[in-house]
Amino acid sequence: MKKVELIVTLKPQVLDTQGEALNRAVHELDHDEINNIRVGKVLYFDIDETDDAKIDESVRQLSEKLFTNTVIETYSYKVLEEVSQ
SS (H, E, C) 31-74: CCCCCCCCCEEEEEEEECCCCHHHHHHHHHHHHHHHHCCCCCEE
Q: Which CATH number fits domain 2-80: 3.30.1280.10, 3.40.50.2300, 3.20.20.100, 3.40.605.10?
A: 3.30.1280.10
pLDDT digits (tens, 9 = 90+) for 45-76: 999 999 999 999 999 999 999 999 999 999 99
Q: What is the pTM of this model?
A: 0.85
Mean local confidence (pLDDT), 28-55: 96
pLDDT digits (tens, 9 = 90+) for 10-27: 999 999 999 999 999 999
Domain locations in the chain?
2-80
Burial 50-69 (b: 16+ CB within 10 A, else e): eeeeebeeebeebbeeebbe
Is pLDDT of 83 > 90? no
Is pLDDT of 82 > 90? no
